[in-house]
Amino acid sequence: MQESEKLGTGAHTRAFAAGACFYGKEKESMNTKIIKLASCGCAGDEALLEAAQILRCGGLVAFPTETVYGLGANALDEDAAKKIYAAKGRPSDNPLIAHISRMDELPVLAAEIPEAAGRLARRFWPGPLTMIFKKQSRVPDGTTGGLDTVAVRMPSDPVANRLIQLAGVPVAAPSANTSGRPSPTRAEHVVEDMDGKIELILDGGEVGIGVESTIVDVSGEVPMLLRPGAVTLEMLRETLGRVDVDPAIEGPLAEGVRPKAPGMKYRHYAPRAEMLLVEGEAERVAAYINHEAKKAKEAGRRVGIICTEESRRLYPEGILEVIGSRSHEETVAHNLFAVLRELDEKAVDCIFSESFSEDRLGQAIMNRLCKAAGYHIVQV
Ligand code: TXA
Ligand code: MG
């Protein structure tokens, strides 16, 4: 049996599998089609069928998920996966996450499904959680960056979930940004980075969560958190007991040390301007930022300041971006990447940002902000 048949999800898949495939060809540049989906979440199946056919034929489709927009390709097709690296300008040792729509698709990718993975899947799938498994040999090196493990996620977004189902194959999807730029949380961000490089962008409006999925390695003895996200360390420990944390999450790695998730070593999520993260009590942080902003302005530099609803009144100077409310941290996660892109748009030369506590969702927020700032952090 072909893999695509094993994963087939019914009449649509088979009907399209017989259709002509003309998306697989290498092209220098192409016309990227953009389809706006109805906001009800009950996306028109016509658009999704077109997208599914492109995926099955080896092409690239950007689509919304509950975390960030993904750039999808057939995860079992090495050539299709390679096109993702080319479109993103991504180093080829940085593996992709394979997305599935149902639990019975997992054994096609994962050689072993440990008990801990079953428990996490029951509680958090579909949802913003990726797990790392020992891989089946059919998963190509192009998808896993040559590793003997594979990252798998089952998204809860109805568009993403339906698209994977219709494609009838697991969908490899990194975030749909140019490598190194902030992840896209709106279709406009995807258009900025991918227009002319991929076949189709499905515009499902703004995503809900705004930071990428939590990654947990369940392939070893003790589960290990590799990237924090909306499924927090506290939630993982509540479900599993002991969960270790990859040191790559906590700070820059020493020369020569390799993080478990290869993607964590790159300067990521980064705005073009240099950024400084300021930690300390609110009034002192504001005083420090205002002082530094004034100096930078006097030196002829355009200054961006990232603050919160609670602190906005403390900043008379600079281009102010309100990232969200401290009393609702999910708003901070939701706006984080859009704010970094906004400051790029406004062509600032330097950015001063407030910081956040590292509990719960704060760990994911601070992980992204620290990387955006290249770990350029000051305590006041
Ligand atoms: O929320 C998300 O996870 C989004 C949406 C589209 O689902 N995807 C996403 O993909 O963030 P990406 O490629 O931007 O990040 C994937 C991360 C990288 O840091 C990569 O190194 C890591 O997952 N990864 C993938 N496969 C791995 C593996 N076998 N072992 C360890 N880390 C892996
Ligand atoms: Mg990414």
d(CA 186, CA 188): 5
Q: How far is the CA of 145 from the centre of ligand 2 (A)?
A: 14
Cis amide linkage into residue 64, ω under 30° from 0: no
- CB-defined site of ligand 1, < 6 Å: 65, 67-68, 70, 94-97, 130, 132, 144, 147, 149-151, 153, 173-175, 212-213, 215, 226, 260-264
pLDDT at 17: 39
Residue 68 CA to ligand 1 center (angstroms) comes to 12
What gap in Å lies between CA 297 and CA 349, rounded to an integer?
Answer: 10
Helix (H) or strand (E) holding 33: strand 33-36
Pick the ligand that lies closest to the CA of residue 156: 1
pLDDT at 42: 54
Residue owning tokens 């506590």? 357
pLDDT value of position 22: 52
Start-to-end CA distance of the chain, whole Å, equals 63
C-alpha 174 – ligand 2 centre gap (Å): 5
Distance (Å) from CA 21 to ligand 1 centroid: 28
**255, 311, 261, 258: which is closest to 282 by C-alpha?**
311
Closest CA to 229 of 243, 246, 244, 210: 210
Nearest atom in ligand 1 to the alpha carbon of residue 175 is 14
**Per-position DSSP letters for 4-24, written without gaps between them:** HHHT--SHHHHHHHTS---S-
Strand order in the sheet with 274-279: 319-322, 303-307, 350-354, 274-279, 377-379
- Which atom of ligand 1 sits closest to the CA of residue 173? 6
Residue for token pair 């509950």: 66
Position 14 scores a pLDDT of 33
Number of Cβ within 10 Å of residue 227's Cβ equals: 23
Each residue's pLDDT expressed in tens, for the chain with a length of 380 residues: 343 333 433 333 332 333 446 554 555 678 999 999 976 555 568 999 999 999 999 999 999 999 999 999 999 999 999 999 999 998 888 999 999 999 999 999 999 999 999 999 999 999 999 999 999 999 999 999 999 999 999 999 999 999 999 999 999 999 999 998 999 999 999 999 999 999 999 999 999 999 999 999 999 999 999 999 999 999 999 999 999 999 988 777 766 667 777 766 665 667 789 999 999 999 999 999 999 999 999 999 999 999 999 999 999 977 999 999 999 999 999 999 999 999 999 999 999 999 999 999 999 999 999 999 999 999 99
Return the number of other C-beta atoms located less than 10 Å from residue 170's C-beta: 26
**Pocket mutation for ligand 1, best pick of 212, 227, 265 (most atoms within 8 Å of C-beta):** 212
Token digits of residue 293: 């902003």
Cβ partners under 8 Å of residue 131, min gap 6: 117, 120, 121, 151, 152, 153, 215, 216, 217, 218
Q: Which atom of ligand 1 is least distant from the CA of 67?
A: 1
Residue of the CA atom closest to atom 7 of ligand 1? 70
Find the radius of gyration of the CA atoms of the chain: 21
